[in-house]
Amino acid sequence: MKHDYFHRVAALTPTKMWINNVTPREADLAIAAGAMGCTQNPSYTWKMLNHEEGKAGALALLDETLKESRDDNEVECILQRKLVQRVAERFMTVYHRTNGRHGYVSIQGDPIHEEDPQVIIDEGRKNRRMSPNIMIKIPATKAGLEAMGVLIEENTPLNATEIMGLSQIIDVCEMYHKITAKTKTYPIMYYSLITGIYDEWLQKEVAAQGIAINPDILYQAGMVVAKKVYRLVHDRGYALGFIGGGVRGFQHFTEMVGGDVCITMNWGGQAEELLKLNQPVVARLFNPVQDHVLDELLTKVPAFRQAYLEDGLEVDEYEEYGPVRYFRDMFIEAWQNTLRLIAERRKARSA
C-alpha cells in the first residue's frame, strides 16, 4: 500500500478523494495521490484563462473557438468543453482501471440560464458526448430537477449539485428511484452536499443577523447536516452516491473520513496541504452530534433549520435559498468575466 495520506484513507475506509477545478498538471498530481474523480464548475474557464500554468494555452484555445460561433455564450460553452476534455482524458485511466465505477469528471456549464430546463438538457446532452467518463452536473433547483428527470431517463451519469439542505436530497433521490423503477436502467448518480460553502455562508448570515451563538457550535453546522444526510440516505436505501464539496477547511474532508463518501477539493491549498500534513487516518463521520449542539443550532439559527429539517424548504425555494444563491453568484461572476473577455478578443480580432 502507498503510505501517503489519501492512499491510506482509501485503504482503511470507504472514503474517496475527488479533485475540483484542476489544471491538467494538477489532475495528474491528484490521480497519483489517489483521486478517484473530478468536479469542474462554471468558474473553471475563467480560472484557466488566468492561471499561470494554463493561461497562454487557454487564450489560444479561445481565439480558435471564436471562429466556431458568433454567439459569445456558446463560445464559452464550447471553450469549457475543450478545457474539461483534457482533464477527462487523464481520468480515463481511473475509469478503465475501475471498469467504469470511478474516474468520472463532472461538468457544470452556463449558470446564467439555469432557470430554463431545456437549456440545461441541451447543454447536458452536448457535454455528455465528450467522453464516456463525463458526468453532467446540474443544480438541484426546480428547473434542475426537471432537467435531471429527462436525463435520468436517457441513462445519463449525473451529479446533482448546489445542494445545501435535506429536502433537496430527498427530492433528488425520490425522483431517481421513481424514474429508474420505470426504466429499469440505473445511471450512476451522485448528490453533492456543498458543506464548505454552506458553512462559509452561514457564518456570514449569523454575523449579519446578529445571532448570538457559541462559535464552536456554529463551526459544526455543516457537518451536523452532513451526518443527518448520510444517515437518512443509508436508512432509506437510496442508490445515489454522496459527494461533499465546497471545502473551505480541512475539517470538510477529515470529519467525513469513515463514510462511503467522495470529498472534492481544490489541489492547491487543500489536497496538496493535506498530503503534506499527512495526518493519522481517523474515522470521524459517525461521531454523534451532542444534543446541546443540535438544540442551539435549531433554536437560534433559522437558516440551519431550513437545511436540517426534511420539510425545511419547498422546491420553489431551492434556487433562492441563501447559500445556494451565494454559491451560484460566484459562478455567474466568473462566467460573466469570461463573456467580457470573449467580447474583447472578438472585437480585437475584427479591428
Domain ranges of the chain: 5-350
Residue pair 150/122 in contact (Cβ under 8 Å)? The answer is no
Q: Which three cell numbers stand for residue 120?
A: 440545461
Closest CA to 272 of 19, 16, 13: 19
Other beta carbons within 10 angstroms of residue 69's beta carbon come to 13
Concatenated DSSP letters for 275-299? HHH-------TTSPPPHHHHHHHHH
> Any bridge partners for residue 192, and if so which?
243
**Cβ(123)–Cβ(109) below 8 Å:** yes
Identify the residue whose cell numbers are 430537477. 145
C-beta separation of 21 from 47 below 8 A: yes
Q: Which residue has the cell 453532467?
A: 136
Q: Nearest Cα to 329, choosing from 162, 192, 79?
A: 162
Considering only CA atoms, which of 123, 120, 54 is closest in space to residue 87? 54
Strand 158-163 with 134-139, pairing: parallel
What's the grid cell of residue 224?
Answer: 451536523
C-alpha cell at position 193: 452536499
Q: Give the pLDDT means over successive 10-residue stretches in the chain (351 positions).
A: 89 98 96 97 96 91 96 97 97 97 97 94 96 98 98 98 98 98 97 98 98 98 98 97 96 97 97 96 97 98 98 97 98 98 93 69
Q: What are the CA-CA distances from residue 280 to residues 13, 70, 143 (Å)?
A: 12, 54, 43
CB 161, CB 137: distance < 8 Å: yes
Label each residue of 118-143 as H, E or C.
HHHHHHHHHHHCCCCCEEEEEECCHH
Strand, coil or helix: 261: strand
Q: Tell me the β-bridge partners of 173.
A: none
Residues contacting 113, CB < 8 A, separation 6+: 73, 119, 120
Taking a C-beta distance cutoff of 8 angstroms, is the pair 233, 173 a contact? Answer: yes
**CA 157/CA 191 separation, integer angstroms:** 11
In the numeric block, the cell 463560445 is attached to 75
Q: Which three cell numbers stand for residue 107?
A: 461538468
The backbone torsions φ and ψ at residue 92, rounded to the nearest 5 degrees and listed phi first, read -65, -25
User: Rounded to the nearest 10 degrees, how much is the dihedral formed by the CA atoms of 170, 282, 288, 16?
Assistant: 0
Q: Which amino acid belongs to residue 256?
A: M
Find all residues with CB under 8 Å of 178, minimum gap 6, and list them: none
Q: Kindly report the CATH number that applies to the domain delimited by 5-350.
A: 3.20.20.70
pLDDT of residue 54: 81
Establish how many alpha carbons lie within 13 A of residue 45's alpha carbon, considering only the half-sphere containing its beta carbon: 33
